[in-house]
Chain A
Amino acid sequence: MSEFRIVEKEECVPNIHKLVVSVPKIAQKTQPGQFILVMVDEKSERIPLTLADWDPDTGTIVFFVQELGLSTTKMAYMEVSDSFYSIVGPLGEPAHLKKFGSVVVAGGCFGLGGIYSIAKELKGLGNHIISILEAKNESLLYYEEEFQEISDEIIFVTSDGSRGIKGHVYDVLEDMISIQKRKIDHIKVIGCNVMMSKVAKLTKELGNIPTYATVSSIMVDGTGMCGACRLTYDGKTRFACVDGPEFDAHKVDWDELIGVRNTAYIREESLSLQNFSPQCRSLTKFLEKNSEKESV
């Protein structure tokens, strides 16, 4: 069995962990917009994570995890040189990319990592990149330097106005489109489903600007067998794992995705944390300290 060793781990901002893992096979084959399914240990669930970056030469992949439930908490407790139980990928269809012209790339929360690979590829295709990065507070913005490199314009938005514009991604977009009357050919957005649904609603009203969103849904196998990631797209049932994860945001039934699909297992998810007990690190530290004392 191959190993999925963590090469680098960092909590860039509270709750968001950047992980660099050595998986040469995935690093060689990934295309922007594709995702992986990660299992922390034998009994853990499988969670889908969009890749932020990959390097075919060193064989490493980079992804961001927002610490939320049991599996992601377990990931947060992992340390460099720990190994995942399994990583499956690359899965899903690559993002829809070509030369559009002027492209808005918007990311919020955990989405900043996922949107980066798409933005980088779009830049390479000769598009004019306008990056909009959203967070609650300036202390929660990350991956800034990387975005500076690939963006023609970069806009920061915070809920409390501590950095850049006060508000949300859709406020900036509304301002750009209806007040500044700028021409935007294409919009790519990754973030929480609520944010993406609001962006979709806005761009539909403001002249149907092509908007593509990478949906976040619950997944189990990632190959179209279980149907856990199903959503209604254009009146038909689609699977986010094989038909997506990128969809035309105007055709997704966001209310169903947010209110029904993604909250279906909230009870089990919360109760699973009830008997979670990580390794007692304070004891480990104490023992280390004691053994040092003895050796002195």
Chain B
Amino acid sequence: MTKWMNINGKRVVFEEGETVLEVATKAGIYIPTLCARPDLPSIGACRLCIVDIEGGRGYPNSCTLPAREGMVVRTATPDLQAVRRNILQLILAEHPSYCLVCKEQNDCAKLRHGEYKAGRVIGCYTCSHKELCEIRKLVEYLRVKEIRFPILYKDLPLERDDPFLVRDYNLCILCARCIRACQDVLGYSAISLTKRGHDTKVGTLLEVSHLESGCVFCGHCIDVCPTGALTARGSSWFGTPDRSVTTTCVLCSHGCQMVADARWNKVVNVHPPYELSARREYCVKGRFCIPALMNGRERLKYPTIKRKIIQEEHFPVSWDEVFTYTAEKLKQYKPEEIGILISPSLLDEAIFLLSRFAKKISNHNIVYDDEGLKDLASRGIKVLFATYSTKLFTEIKDLDFLILQDIYESPYPNIADVIFPTTTFTEESGTKTGDDFIKYEINKVVDPPGDALPSWMIVSRLAQIMGLEGFSFDSVINLQDEISRNDPINVPLVPKESFEYMGIPISNKVSELELYLDAKRVLNKSKGESMLDVRI
């Protein structure tokens, strides 16, 4: 039997077990709240979602109030709004909200609209979160123009001793969303409400560091925080992103969906989509490391050829020149002398074209890892087309010509003859097959640095210059059609524990990760666990 209730004079249907807030939200009726979220259990901490129930006493929280048959609810009576305004002012009195009552507010918003850096937040204009701030939205909704109570600054120390996380509990409004995400949804219990009364704050047991507290650095506390109290170091201070693109993380084969924020044509932040922000566990690599990994200063920008003028050096050249040069060289070798090494992190399109390329010019199977490369070397290859760099290159005895397609300058002795700069997964569109043969969509977020090209385009143009058939694709869509008409290729999966992307150790490029791994190893050792086994 359908159940009905009445909200603001509107008859709405509901199901047993739903709260009044859920019923109202489904019916498109807005009830302000700071602590409730659809994906977290409600605790009624902020008391802004109060409603008026006909025949009931006081104003109960709609987030914890079960809907009943025949209930008559009003959500925005003048009395309710007055109480809400009071509650919000009390919250604001313990949050650095001076900017909200400053008379220069409008001018300031024009001058300091975007990025602003600060050690810690002492007002909205220094807050990196100001555009997303849920408190500010409520201040606008309830039209709070003044704060009747003295604004107190708690003066708690800025907690930034841990890797990745910066926590400023002076901004915290004790909504406990972070605790519920950590404890109730993900089951870690790294943080909880500590101390009591006025001193209540979010913290770890016995105030140990997050490293020791069992925190896995998944970053969900940051994603659910309605204020700027929790931030990721390195991803704050960019203001409003120019665009946000939903794409998939390729650092392992798990296929986590993520949103990449771009500013000034650089990836500046990566976070889960809103719906997933408290539901799926993200790893430290995907949540925190992507911006720094993609934006390193040593990214390869221009194709180069090694030439000897005074000494052997790499000289930047045009793509046409490097392709013609490479094509000429490749034609001089027999199919059994050519090998191809593929990084399993490449997108499907690139792997498809590279394997087709391999069938045309080489007698050997394509290989995906160092083991495979050793095998190739033992078969006496003289030319290698590698899509990631490894220290094994110097160990291949008869290597005449090394073609390296890479994103970063090689950390190993650079013996490549030509270098093709390529894109990372945030700089190209395509698909990637992950666990269980699920195809994930990869969307371009930013332009690649310099002249770098997507890997499939490099192979396609090189093959066309060599005069090979079947490589002419004018777009990634055409190529995907072609892929769907062919047998799938079995690409080795990248495990979650892998700390490499395209042969580059991520910790080389992301100093925070290096710190995190070092710290975790030391902690593991002190617990008697294996040094290298860092669980993420």
* B-binding residues in A (CB < 8 A): 14-15, 66-69, 72-73, 76, 136-137, 139-140, 158-162, 167-168, 194, 258, 266-267, 269-271, 273-278, 280-283, 285-287, 290
Contact = CB atoms under 8 A, between A and B. Distances in A.
A194 B111 contact: yes
Contact of B519 (A258, A267, A271, A280): A280
B98 A159 contact: yes
Interface string B105-126: 0000001000101111011001
B151 interface: yes
Nearest to A168: B104
A136 B155 contact: no
Given A76-B119, A270-B115, A283 B211 contact: yes
A102 B369 CA distance: 79
Given A14-B122, A136-B98, A273-B237, A283 B160 contact: no
A136 B111 contact: no
Contacts of B216: none
A267 B264 contact: yes
B335 interface: no
Contacts of A69: 117
Given A139-B153, A274-B295, A275-B296, A269 B522 contact: no
Nearest to B122: A14
B70 to A, nearest CB: 47
Given A160-B102, A276-B233, 10 more contacts: A14-B155, A67-B119, A159-B123, A167-B103, A270-B238, A275-B292, A275-B512, A280-B519, A282-B209, A286-B212
B238 A280 contact: no
Given A68-B117, A266-B115, A139 B155 contact: yes
B39 interface: no
Contacts of B519: 280, 282-283
Contacts of A271: 264, 266, 268, 295
B511 A274 contact: no
Contacts of B512: 275, 277
Contacts of B511: 275-277
Nearest to B264: A267
21 contacts: A67-B120, A136-B98, A137-B96, A137-B153, A139-B152, A160-B101, A160-B151, A168-B104, A269-B117, A270-B115, A270-B238, A273-B237, A274-B291, A275-B292, A277-B512, A277-B515, A280-B515, A280-B519, A281-B161, A282-B519, A283-B211
Interface of B: 96, 98-99, 101-104, 111, 115, 117-120, 122-123, 126, 147, 150-153, 155, 160-163, 170, 209-212, 233-238, 263-264, 266, 268, 291-292, 295-296, 509-512, 514-516, 518-519, 522-523, 526
Nearest to B514: A277
A275 B515 CA distance: 12
Contacts of A274: 234-235, 268, 291-292, 295
A50 to B, nearest CB: 19
A-B residue pairs, 8 tightest by C-beta: A67-B119, A282-B209, A277-B511, A281-B161, A282-B161, A139-B153, A159-B102, A283-B519
